[in-house]
């Protein structure tokens, strides 16, 4: 058993639309700040030692190929958005 990131990095929540109250705006800002959203910056793709991360051409988000991932945790450590977390690999 080892630690691996999930194969797909969580999607960014849908953008807000329309007017909102100050309370709603504050709640939305908090939700976005803690959403652990991938913005496709490619840092993890450049630094993964096993070249296990690519960008999904449709979503622009990182996708991890667990066939190549060795579970080093570098991507989760370096992602500026906190979009990657490690979980137990039970396979």
Of the candidate residues 52, 54, 63, 89, the single one contacting ligand SF4 (CB under 6 A) = 52
List the interface residues with ligand SF4, window 25-44 (CB under 6 A): 38-44
**Residue 75 is a binding residue for ligand SF4 (CB under 6 A):** yes
By rule CB under 6 A, what count of residues binds ligand SF4?
Answer: 27
User: Residue 39: which of 61, 57, 55 has the closest Cα?
Assistant: 61
- Residues in contact with ligand SF4 by CB under 6 A are 5, 9, 38-44, 48-50, 52-53, 62, 64, 69-75, 79, 81, 83-84
């Amino acid at each position: 058993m080892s630690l691996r990131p999930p194969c797909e990095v969580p999607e960014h929540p849908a953008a807000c639309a329309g007017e909102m109250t100050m309370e709603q705006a504050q709640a939305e800002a908090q939700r976005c700040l803690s959403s652990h959203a991938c913005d496709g910056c490619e840092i993890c793709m450049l630094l993964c030692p096993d070249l296990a991360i690519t960008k999904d051409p449709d979503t622009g988000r990182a996708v991890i190929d667990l066939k190549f991932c060795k579970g080093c945790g570098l991507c989760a450590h370096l992602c500026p958005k906190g979009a990657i977390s490690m979980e137990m690999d039970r396979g």
